Amino acid sequence: EAGVTQFPSHSVIEKGQTVTLRCDPISGHDNLYWYRRVMGKEIKFLLHFVKESKQDESGMPNNRFLAERTGGTYSTLKVQPAELEDSGVYFCASSRDRAHTDTQYFGPGTRLTVL
């Protein structure tokens, strides 16, 4: 079974530009999560999809971040326009069921650097 995949693995952009991160969850996993780790800080939750619906987006930092999950399959996270403080590693995870009853499987992350 293929794991969670993320693309790209690294992205370097200028402040003010737009970047789109992609996540492909494990096949059959209805739950998809985005997390972010800013350097020196803990991994923080951004949002949670159940199929194509946003279940919880309480962790999204501001309206420059837009997440979508078309057809309940892969998900994209767009940052527009990017700011310096958006730099960090963005992780995607998926699970068959909700967090407290099932394991979340994480992708390798996308390292975003905003210059």
Nearer to other proteins (CB atom), residue 88 or residue 107: 107
Report the run of H or E that residue 94 belongs to, with start and end: strand 88-95
Q: Is 48 in the site for other proteins (CB under 8 A)?
A: yes
Q: Is 104 in the site for other proteins (CB under 8 A)?
A: yes
Q: Is 33 in the site for other proteins (CB under 8 A)?
A: yes
d(CA 85, CA 29): 31
Give the contacts of 17 (CB within 8 A, at least 6 positions apart).
81, 82
Q: Is 80 in the site for other proteins (CB under 8 A)?
A: no
The overall longest dimension of the chain from CA atoms, in Å, is 40
Give the contacts of 88 (CB within 8 A, at least 6 positions apart).
36, 37, 38, 39, 111, 112
Judged by CB under 8 A, the chain residues 2 through 21 that form the site for other proteins are: 3-4
Q: CB of 36: closest distance to other proteins in angstroms?
A: 11
Task: Look up residue 29 and give its amino acid.
Answer: H
Q: CB of 73: closest distance to other proteins in angstroms?
A: 19
Interface pick for other proteins out of 20, 26, 30, 44 (rule CB under 8 A): 44
Interface with other proteins by CB under 8 A: which residues? 3-4, 33, 35, 41-45, 48, 55-56, 59, 91, 93, 98-101, 103-109
